[in-house]
């Protein structure tokens, strides 16, 4: 389905639960978890503007503000009031911006491993590394840059499946996400990681900010910024099954854990 140039997938009924993808991802990796939660929520996952099947942006202005506005538009058009929001990786950064700009639209925000690396004590080193990754991208292309990036953060290298190696729908997903790498590397890798949350605004809605991380990824850098945010807000980080993409790799465990977290809220 499509709304104002944004491709989205909707399942189930009940209160709206909006999934915001991060990095070069799109709606596809959320499908298993979204389907498992469709008996209690109207789950909506979408391709952020310019990625996969959604229309490109204008190419000018604040891309993060546009991402935030698109999420707000989907909640207003597809829901009947404030929504539950789940954002992962740079999608979590979009969710933080949405929650501070439009708190009236957010019933609860599950903030899953936002890579706000500048918040870390060694943040300058990480930001310098991201500059190196971008230089690698300019010199040798997206796959080489992501291999360098993933090796440092503990993620597997980008997949390039051979014919017949995986089911066709998985191959299509990987190809879509690989095509998204150029936009991610040029407009998000260095920019979103430097986003400065409005902590005063977050403090006013701290009871609606649920900080979560992957239980299998505690030793990796994407887990760490939430610890800083938790300290500032006086809250804690709750572990969910899996790693940085547990919603895609461990949906049978991830979906009920997420449902329980939202129910407890």
46-63 pLDDT tens trace: 999 999 999 998 766 799
- DSSP-based helix, strand, coil % in the chain, nearest 5: 50, 15, 30
Q: Which residues pair with 239 in a beta bridge?
A: 213
- Structural domains in the chain, CATH included, are 2-122+193-264 (3.40.50.1820)
Antiparallel, parallel or unpaired: β 42-46 and 83-88: unpaired
Distance CA 78, CA 42 (A): 9
pLDDT at 163 exceeding the cut of 90: no
pLDDT at 155 exceeding the cut of 90: no
DSSP assignment of 170-210? HHHHHHHHHHTHHHHHHHTTTTGGG----HHHHHHTGGGEE
pLDDT at 160: 65
Confidence of residue 153 (pLDDT cuts 50, 70, 90): confident
**Taking a C-beta distance cutoff of 8 angstroms, is the pair 193, 116 a contact?**
yes
pLDDT at 159: 62
The pLDDT tens digits for 20-56 are: 999 999 999 999 999 999 999 999 999 999 999 999 9
> pLDDT > 70: what percent of the chain?
95
pLDDT at 169: 76
pLDDT at 166: 73
pTM comes to 0.95
Which has the higher per-residue pLDDT, 174 or 71?
Answer: 71
Query: What is the torsion angle, in degrees rounded to the nearest 10, for the CA atoms of residue 218, residue 245, residue 89 and residue 99?
Result: -100
- Residue entry with tokens 């400065």: 196
The pLDDT tens digits for 248-257 are: 999 999 999 9
Rama region for 105: left / alpha / beta (φ>0; ψ in -120 to 50; rest)? alpha
pLDDT at 238: 98
Confidence of residue 172 (pLDDT cuts 50, 70, 90): confident
């Amino acid at each position: 389905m499509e709304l104002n140039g944004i491709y989205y997938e909707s399942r189930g009924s009940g209160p709206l639960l909006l999934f915001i993808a991060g990095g070069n991802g799109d709606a596809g990796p959320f499908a298993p978890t979204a389907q498992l939660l469709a008996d209690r929520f109207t789950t909506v996952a979408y391709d952020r503007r310019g990625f996969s099947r959604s229309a490109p942006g204008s190419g000018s202005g604040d891309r993060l503000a546009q991402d935030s506005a698109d999420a707000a538009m989907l909640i207003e058009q597809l829901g009947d009031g404030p929504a539950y929001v789940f954002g992962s990786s740079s999608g979590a950064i979009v969710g933080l911006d949405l929650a501070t700009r439009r708190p009236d639209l957010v019933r609860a925000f599950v903030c899953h491993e936002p890579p706000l690396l500048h918040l870390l004590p060694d943040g300058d080193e990480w930001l310098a590394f991201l500059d190196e990754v971008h230089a690698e991208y300019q010199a040798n292309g997206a796959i080489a840059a992501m291999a360098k990036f993933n090796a440092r953060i503990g993620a597997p290298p980008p997949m390039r499946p051979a014919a017949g190696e995986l089911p066709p729908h998985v191959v299509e997903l990987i190809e879509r996400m690989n095509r998204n790498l150029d936009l991610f590397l040029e407009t998000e890798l260095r920019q979103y990681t430097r986003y400065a949350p409005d902590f005063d605004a977050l403090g006013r809605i701290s009871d609606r900010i649920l900080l979560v991380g992957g239980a299998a990824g505690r030793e990796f850098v994407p887990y760490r910024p939430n610890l800083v945010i938790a300290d500032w807000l006086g809250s804690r980080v709750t572990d969910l099954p899996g790693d940085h993409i547990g919603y895609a790799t461990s949906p049978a465990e991830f979906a009920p854990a997420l449902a329980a977290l939202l129910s407890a809220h």
